[in-house]
Copies of this chain bind each other. A is one copy, B any other.
């Protein structure tokens, strides 16, 4: 299900967050789908349950999932994220990376192409 790189400098819980976000973006995990339980995922990935817990907690804080105590963790509707604190953060992050990309000489058209490709991917998942 996931491939975590223990050799990476990026903390495992962050890698886990990224992987889960990717699954949501590619719509493998959709609104209100249940995420695997902490214990099961820890077993499958052979990593410490505390690490999973930390990833889930952070995802909840960021608004990507919601927790029903005693039930489990579930994918939050993306609309919840729009108009939240996250939107401003992501926009400013986007502005920063775009500025850097343009500075080092990446072409505007190349960026347009990238946007089209990525939004097509998400749309493709809708069918």
Contact B102 A119 (CB under 8 A): yes
Task: Count this chain's copies in the assembly.
Answer: 4
The 9 lowest CB-CB distance pairs between A and B, nearest first, are A82-B105, A81-B104, A25-B103, A25-B99, A94-B97, A98-B118, A99-B118, A90-B101, A102-B119
Contact A97 B93 (CB under 8 A): yes
Cα separation A84 to B12 with both chains bound (whole Å): 27
Give me the interface of A with B, judged by CB distance under 8 Å.
Answer: 6-7, 9, 18, 21-22, 24-25, 61, 66-69, 78-79, 81-82, 84, 86-87, 90-91, 93-106, 108, 111-112, 114-116, 118-119, 121-122
Q: Which residues of B contact A119 (CB under 8 A)?
A: 102, 108
Minimum distance in angstroms from A19 CB to a CB of chain B: 11
> Is chain A's interface secondary structure helix, strand, loop, or mixed overall?
helix
Contact B102 A118 (CB under 8 A): yes
